[in-house]
Amino acid sequence: MEKARHLRELLSSGRLIRAAGAHDGLGAVLVQEQGFDAVWASSFEISAARALPDASLLSMTDYLRVAVELDRVSSLPVIADCDTGFGGALNVAHMVAEYEAAGIAAVCIEDKVFPKVNSFVGQGQDLLGLPEFVHKIRVAKESARSEDFVVIARTEGFIAGCGVNDVLERAHEYADAGADAILVHSKASTPVELLSFLSRWQRPIPVAVVPTTYYAWHADDAAKAGVSLIIYANHGIRAKVNAMRSVLRSIQQDGSTVNIEGEIASMKDIFELQRLEDWLALNQ
């Protein structure tokens, strides 16, 4: 569990930790290339890469396979977005055992009812009862074999329309149940909800945020406000969609690739990302 230990050390370092989402091995390599501290195995990106909605359609095995792929090609710790834990408390216990055995550094589970739908969809944002989710966190911690394995509790209280008092109550209970970090999600256009939460946060464990909608919040300002982990969870696949659309449109319209060759990666670049020379050297 060297990567889990490394992640735990990062989270206690006092500096802001930056993670970026990926849905395949190449994405994880690019996340590492750009100097991020961790890879977020995004359930949204993994679902979208299959042209499926982020609505608990894929199985734990599907998500775990991708997380392992990300872990094997990168030296960074992988934080696995495990939605609601794939079911009840028994599912959470099984999930922790499988992800830990596979070498994944951390899992993140959220306090919505299974099956869940993506947080930015305008329906289906129902929270699990507080005692039930506290039990899930305790089961997750008890199921881990190593003290280094990181369990992140994600509260969707703001997503479900709760006020800051209710969100704080949930987050404090999750911390007291043993969570190693709290992810507070929000779909507000500014960090106002997060700032209100952070100003009243009363536990000595890290707080993580996902600034998808309040994207103007600078990482330095988030760190000053008390954020320990900032996750850019879905930008890779969103960039991929626009880039592919643009390139394919140009090829279709122009009848050749002459106008886009300077905009796309060279074959040499791809070979380097694949570590082709290292692989070919094995035959020598």
- Show which residues are catalytic: 54
Task: List beta partners, residue 151.
Answer: 107
Task: List Cβ neighbours of 154 (8 Å cut-off, separation of 6 or more).
Answer: 108, 109, 110, 111, 182, 183, 184, 185
Single-letter amino acid, residue 189? S
Taking the alpha carbons at both ends of the chain, their separation in whole angstroms is 33
Please classify residue 23 by burial: count the beta carbons closer than 10 Å to its beta carbon, then call 0-12 exposed, 13-18 middle and 19+ buried: buried
Vertex 164: Cα angle to 161 and 167 (nearest 5): 75
Tell the residue number behind the tokens 């190449």, with chain if given: 26
CB 213 within 8 A of CB 187: yes
> The dihedral of CA 218, 220, 223, 224: what is its sign?
negative
- Radius of gyration of the chain from Cα atoms? 19
Task: List Cβ neighbours of 147 (8 Å cut-off, separation of 6 or more).
Answer: none
Tally the residues of the chain.
284
Task: At 153, list the tokens.
Answer: 């509790």
DSSP 8-state symbol, 102 = T
Vertex 198: Cα angle to 213 and 130 (nearest 5): 85
Single-letter amino acid, residue 212? T
Please classify residue 78 by burial: count the beta carbons closer than 10 Å to its beta carbon, then call 0-12 exposed, 13-18 middle and 19+ buried: buried
